[in-house]
Chains A and B, each alone.
Chain A
Amino acid sequence: MFNSIIKPSLVLLLVAFAASFSLSHIQKITYPNIIKMEKEKQDLALKLVLPGYRITGSKKAKVEGKEFEYWTAEKEEGGTAGYAFMVAGNGYSGPVESIVGIDDRGTILGMSILKQSETPGLGARCVEVSSKETLFDKLLEKTARNEIYMPWFQKQFSGLNSGEKIRILKKGEWNEGLMESLRKENAVLAITGATVTSVTVTESIKNGHELLKKALASGAEKKEAGK
């Protein structure tokens, strides 16, 4: 009785208790930093997706029963409105969360992927920075650039129309020269071997645009009703 039931249970309890006790301490130490990093990432992303705009407010609305987070912004010169919103879509191995900035006509000003758990080397390349300098340049210290590069996959979205379907083209590796022709077709270049990720991102942007329209419309209605 003791050896077959009580002892194993006690050992298991002890091990589980010790594990959760130590983990709770580690969690306590790391949690503030994790929150800080996430906040920093979001602030940086907001600035990145709304270049030249000033954030005027952050709002949370319920659209179709779902929580929808968006920000209103104003152009620093001119005063036209801009919006940023959070969207999520189901990628190949989990949700892909991105933040998108658009102007009042629905043109994407910038987008940034905040969270993704796609396959390294494939879908995870949606956050890959296309670096022009070669390893030899780096070793020979030919270039000493410290700028923050925008990942190439995300850069393609600026200038596209978020209200229409964003198409996906497969033309091999990305380079700066392709931008012009892609923009004409309202299309982005797919990530090689990770079409699912590319589709997820483009579709989530389109859905987000529609949600934003609904959220703004319902917000306006409420204002009307309140008057």
Chain B
Amino acid sequence: MNYWNEFTKGIWKKNPILIIGIGMCPTLAVSTSVSNALWMTLAATFVLVCSNILVSLARGITPSHIRIPVFIIIIAAFVTIVELVLKAYQEAVYDALGIFIPLIVVNCIILGRAEEYASKNNVVASTLDGLGMGLGFGFTLTVLAFFREILGANKLFGYTLIPGMEPSSAMILAPGAFFTLAIMLGMMNWINSRK
């Protein structure tokens, strides 16, 4: 097994959002500003890596017909840790992301990786898979947020770019996320087809 491949596949070849097409809900919701996207990436990647490690460790003792409840308990525990820590030490971030922090529990990327990968592979591979998938998720989210924040809010990192310019509110709403996502997907397919 090539560990490097296990790590990099999440970023491009098996990008969770652009290729596998999962995790759309947080993608549309939190890609309104780059700082939200980065914090979301951090939170989701932490949960993804930790749950992958534990699911991989528990794969020997978990009977297959109760695996989903076990995965969900593990994931929910880590999400609660993230929630409590953010609430206690990074309140501004907790306020900004709001409901999408507890919703990481039902993020299909995390449950999907637990089911598809971590429950079948060893700890090292699962950790790398989680990191790669988290980065792929974060990369897509950040690029998306970069364009949406500039076009939809006339801002970058919360600072106004061109004073007095009226931004397009369609970009900050869900359609804007779909447009941007479609263009990103198109670009990705174009690059892949040229090879």
Contact = CB atoms under 8 A, between A and B. Distances in A.
A52 interface: no
Nearest to B149: A121
B133 interface: no
Interface stretch (A21-29, A69-77, A152-160): A21-29
Given A19-B77, A120-B30, A30 B70 contact: no
Interface stretch (B11-19, B118-126, B156-164, B187-195): B156-164
B61 A11 contact: yes
B36 interface: yes
B88 interface: yes
Contact of B66 (A8, A27, A31): A8
Given A120-B96, A124-B98, A12 B66 contact: yes
Contacts of B32: 120-122
A7 B63 contact: yes
A93 interface: yes
B24 interface: no
Contact of B166 (A15, A16, A172): A172
The range of chain A's interface size is 35 or more
Interface string B79-93: 011001101110100
Contacts of B61: 11
B88 A30 contact: yes
A120 B95 CA distance: 9
Given A22-B77, A34-B88, A117-B99, A138 B159 contact: yes
- Majority SS of interface residues in chain A? helix
Contact of A127 (B65, B95, B161): B95
Interface residues of B, number: 46
A203 interface: no
Nearest to A14: B61
A15 B74 contact: yes
Contacts of B63: 3, 7-8, 11
Contacts of A135: 155-157, 159-161
Given A11-B70, A15-B74, A124 B96 contact: yes
B52 interface: no
A227 B18 CA distance: 74
Given A120-B97, A120-B98, A133 B159 contact: yes
B85 A117 contact: no
B156 to A, nearest CB: 5
28 contacts: A7-B63, A8-B66, A11-B63, A15-B58, A19-B73, A22-B81, A27-B84, A30-B89, A34-B88, A93-B99, A116-B98, A120-B29, A120-B32, A120-B33, A120-B100, A121-B33, A121-B153, A122-B172, A124-B95, A124-B96, A133-B159, A133-B160, A134-B162, A135-B159, A136-B161, A193-B169, A193-B172, A193-B173
Interface pairs A-B: 10 shortest CB-CB: A121-B32, A135-B159, A30-B88, A19-B77, A33-B88, A117-B98, A30-B84, A8-B66, A134-B160, A117-B99
Interface of A: 3, 7-8, 11-12, 15-16, 19-20, 22-23, 26-27, 30-31, 33-34, 37, 41, 93-94, 116-122, 124, 127, 131-138, 172-173, 192-193
